[in-house]
Amino acid sequence: MAELVMAAATPHNPLLWRAMREPMPDDLVAVEENFRRIREAVTEAAVDVLIVLGTDHVRQFFSDNSPAFIVGKAASYHGTYENEVRTFGMEYAELTGHPELATQITGREVLPETIDFSVSHEWRLDHSFVLPLQYVRPELDLPIVPIHANAILPPLPSAARFAALGQHLRTAVEAWDSDARVGLLTSGHMATDVGGPRTFNGSPDPAFDAEAVAWMRDGDLAGAIDGCRFDRIMAAGNVTYQYVNIVAALAAMQGRPADLAEATTSRFASSPFFLWRAAQ
């Protein structure tokens, strides 16, 4: 059977792509180092395929068609979008899909009991998928199963639903008749506000960041679910709800304390860096 050998969470802020250049600015050294640590963990775990859990930023999926959880079943994916290349200096990416694992996750004939998945056979991936991959696996040589989790267009799935997603991903991987070593790569935000007076002015809610790191550091899945109530998490910043992607990673790793748990400060507020290696 297949094995879930690691999980990780990183930021996906596209502004990092232009800013993280040699000589590395002092405030981004720790960000670069944490990306490196996760990149090395993927290599050390000998990952064969990556499940990439992110949130499309109203590029592929709009308010007229935005299911809670969408699994990509395509054989290949193109990323990113022209404006992200033009504005942020990002690079286009061509990625290989893994339809077999995608089918294992969604169910071959009947949906799993825990999650009502939608599927996509034609999907152009934005920076929330491409940027973490470009830093964590710059060779872009691993097949992926992208999963869009709606953390941007209300009504939003609750944190408990994200936990159920993570638990289902582990169950689906372990039931897969394969010897593949599977990694889970998620991305999101700590307390972050975009477009208002709190943008790029330090963390808009250091108390939330401290709690959010502690949930992962201590393996407190129940605390994370309770602490990610809509009113609380949105008070921390208007895009902070994407933190719940990381709750799915904690659940997928069975609520174990993270080996790396840090909100790394920089000019771009705080960046989430979390890593779980397989239990020995």
Condensed to tens digits (0 to 9), the pLDDT of residues 252-278 reads: 999 999 999 999 999 888 999 999 998
pLDDT of residue 91: 93
Q: How many domains does the chain have?
A: 1
The mean of the pLDDT values for the chain is: 95
pLDDT classification of 280: cutoffs 50, 70, 90: low
Distance CA 204, CA 228 (A): 16
Phi, psi of 174 (to 5 degrees): -70, -20
Which token pair is 245? Answer: 């992607």
- Contact between 251 and 152 (Cβ < 8 Å): no
Residue 172 vs residue 66, higher pLDDT: 172
Average pLDDT over residues 133-138: 98
For residue 251, the enclosing domain spans: 3-277
Place of tokens 């999963």: 147
- Contact between 230 and 188 (Cβ < 8 Å): no
Distance CA 163, CA 17 (A): 30
CATH of the domain at 116: 3.40.830.10
Distance CA 192, CA 198 (A): 8
Share of residues in the chain with pLDDT > 70 (%): 100
Average pLDDT over residues 18-34: 95
Kindly give, in sequence order, each residue whose CB lies less than 8 Å from that of residue 66, ignoring residues fewer than 6 positions away: 150, 153
Condensed to tens digits (0 to 9), the pLDDT of residues 45-72 reads: 999 999 999 999 999 998 888 899 999 9
Residue 201 vs residue 96, higher pLDDT: 96
DSSP notation for the chain: --EEEEEEEEE--THHHHH--SSPPGGGHHHHHHHHHHHHHHHHTT-SEEEEEE---SSSS-TTS--SEEEE--SEEEE--HHHHHHH----EEEEB-HHHHHHHH-SSS--SS---EEESS-EE-HHHHHHHHHH-TT--S-EEEEEE--SSSSPPPHHHHHHHHHHHHHHHHHSSS--EEEEEEEE-SS---SSTTTTSS-S-HHHHHHHHHHHHHT-HHHHHHHT-HHHHHHT-TTGGGGHHHHHHHHHTTTPPPSEEEEEEETTEEEEEEEEEPP-
Other Cβ atoms closer than 10 A to 267: 13
